[in-house]
Chains A and B, each alone.
Chain A
Amino acid sequence: MTSDTLDSLVADLTSGAIRIVDLTQTLSPETAPIVLPPEAGQCWPFRLEQISRYDERGPAWYWNNFSCGEHTGTHFDAPIHWVSGRDLPNNTTDTVPPQHLIGPACVIDCSGRVATNPDFLLTVDYVMDWEREHGRILPRSWLLMRSDWSKRSDPCAYQNIDEEGPHTPGPDVEVIRFLIEERDIIGFGSEAIGTDAGQGAHLRPPYPCHYYMHGSGRYGLQCLTNLELLPPRGSVIICPPLKIRNGSGSPLRVLALVPRLT
């Protein structure tokens, strides 16, 4: 049995009519983990320890052990990550329905606003303006907030911490409720270190993206990159996390299928 759809997908991938764009940051010991107060439990940064490299520890093979938190580098947030999603069904990395892990993406470009205001908050008006130009966001879409934040290769600039804590862009409270209740998005993606803004602790409720998205069984992607290579709509992302039993999230490789502009 064959599928015309899959056959033509393979043909388009082979011909380049559909490109694959990697939305993933490279994991390395320099990957900056989220900063919490020191008395709190800490997310491990990515660490790599050599097992052997064609040497007395293993003459013909090279391999490493790595360690990191579930929320290190480009990663997926499952609903159980937040207390608001703790009792939902299929809320962990091993039980998330696989069909939720491939879906259409809408990319909202906020890079111009973020360039002058690192604390920029995405609003309902901003989304409505985008929809006037590109059309209504379809149900079960991923909403990816393009900020060009991933261009900040220096970890200090990426974290952007001052005396009042981190300053990074994210959504405001109303837009998250709007995207869930009015548009039924499946997940929210960000280039910054969290889906919520760096100053999101001061919003009501604190960290609204985590609170509402996970509280309604939806997902998060953070530390994305290359969003400027995606069209505002028309691409499809593939984002399966590691199948960790009872996992709250996982580092992952996020790929986008992008039709070539004709």
Chain B
Amino acid sequence: MSETPGRPKRKNPLLRTRVPLLPPRGRSRVALGLTAAAALGRFELQVCPECGTVQYPPREACHRCLSLDLVWQAQSGEGELISETVLHHSHDLYFRDRMPWRLGMVRLDCGPTLLAHLHCGVAVAPCRVRIVARLDKAGQAALIAVSGRFDICEGAAEMADDIHLREMTCDPRCRKVLVTDGKTALGQALTRAFVAAGADIVWAGCAEPWKRSAGLEEVERLEAVTVVPLDVTNGDSVKSLGAALGAKVDILINNAEVHRPYGIAARYGTEAARSEMDVNYLGLLRLAQEFGPVMRARGADGYSSATAWVNLLSVYALSSFPTHGTYSASKAAAYSLAQCLRAEMQSAGVRVVNVFPGPLDDEWNQELPPPKMSAQALAKAIVKGLQDGVEDLFPGEVAQEWLARWLEDPKILERELAIGR
């Protein structure tokens, strides 16, 4: 196992870059329920409401009473590791590159017994463990047995270096990060948060440098931070930075956005809406065309491979918030394009993480009552989301509430939002 104290050696740039391979990605439709929960950072299993059975692996019917009426429910994952083995040989190309690989059988307290990857912090069987669901390089759910609160214990950073977690999460430690807009409070909070999380370098983009940003000048004093010119509305600018840095960026955080608080009637014309689309939608497209291919090429580039592409969307992408209607529309367009990017990046194991916050506590939400999310809280949530390996992040209570209402019934939510609730 990779018990790596401190920083691992840098990759020798003269060596061939390993081609990204994926673990087996085929899943039945019903098994994708496990993936859907893992995408949100949850471990869920099918539960039969009729006989109470919790079952694994996922099936179309309850294996005890044959009921078809199964529901997915969050599980604690507590259980016992009853046996373990270390894999030294595999016919699968992905695992052949990553031998040896530790696996074990875990009997969950809720009933089923399952095969799981074993985190390096797990003691020799038999012992108590907890199962967590993560997305593997293929974007499918994988189950990892961990020991207690491994993520907050002493040596948590080294624990995060465990090969399973390094493969199945997007930890910024020892990685190079590009924050596309360093001029906003959020961009500066993100930059600080990534430095604090152990990123090697954080590049902070700066458009229209003639409009000064005191906050950015302050962040630039941090040793790990470099300000770079980047205007996502300018294809030349994106291309130049992609050429200069593309092969170095391991995590790209696209937080560049324009937000004007208008619906249709409150702002005549298309100029403001067009600038929202130009940054929020076309900006993503420009970045994806210049940075996407080279990040895909580095999806398996050793310990500090290219690992994640984060899009700052909005919970309004799910359903229009009419008083911010043009912004909602631009975020819905960006969400759709981000799904396309996710499909294209998947083949290289680079994760596209979509972030759907509720309203931020910034100047464009001045007229909205609290709760509003602070830049610091959102930045922290994004870093944690990467460390936890989630794919869709709904940070904060407003976003969680909207998500729950949207999942329950999108039509009801639309009616509620139409009258401003």
Contact = CB atoms under 8 A, between A and B. Distances in A.
Interface of A: 29, 32, 35, 39, 41-42, 45, 47-50, 155-156, 158-159, 161-162
Contacts of B269: 41
Contact of B211 (A29, A50, A158, A161): A161
Contacts of B233: 45, 47
Interface in B229-246: 231, 233-237
Contacts of B209: 155-156
Contact of A41 (B234, B235, B236, B271): B271
A47 B234 contact: yes
A161 B214 CA distance: 13
B75 interface: no
A29 B212 CA distance: 19
B210 A41 contact: no
Given A41-B269, A41-B271, A41-B272, A48 B212 contact: no
Contacts of B346: none
B210 A159 contact: yes
B212 A161 contact: yes
Contact of A155 (B210, B235, B275): B210
A46 B210 CA distance: 16
B237 A29 contact: yes
Interface band, chain B: 10 to 19
A42 B210 contact: no
B210 A161 contact: yes
Contacts of A158: 210
A48 B210 contact: no
Given A41-B269, A41-B271, A156 B210 contact: yes
Contact of B210 (A35, A47, A49, A50): A35
Given A41-B271, A161-B211, 12 more contacts: A29-B231, A29-B234, A29-B236, A39-B260, A42-B271, A47-B233, A47-B234, A48-B235, A155-B209, A156-B209, A159-B210, A161-B210
A154 to B, nearest CB: 9
B217 to A, nearest CB: 13
Contacts of A162: 212
Contacts of A49: 235
A259 B21 CA distance: 71
A24 B392 CA distance: 50
Nearest to A29: B234
Contacts of B275: 42
Contacts of B272: 41
Contacts of B234: 29, 45, 47
A34 to B, nearest CB: 11
Contacts of A32: 210
8 A-B pairs with least C-beta separation? A159-B210, A29-B234, A156-B210, A29-B236, A41-B271, A155-B210, A156-B209, A161-B210
A53 B269 CA distance: 33
Nearest to A162: B212
Nearest to B267: A41
Given A155-B210, A156-B209, A48 B271 contact: no
A48 B236 contact: yes
21 contacts: A29-B231, A29-B234, A29-B236, A29-B237, A32-B210, A35-B211, A39-B260, A41-B269, A41-B271, A41-B272, A42-B271, A42-B275, A45-B233, A47-B233, A47-B234, A47-B235, A48-B235, A159-B210, A161-B211, A161-B212, A162-B212
Nearest to B260: A39
Contacts of B237: 29
Nearest to B214: A163
Nearest to B271: A41
Nearest to B233: A47
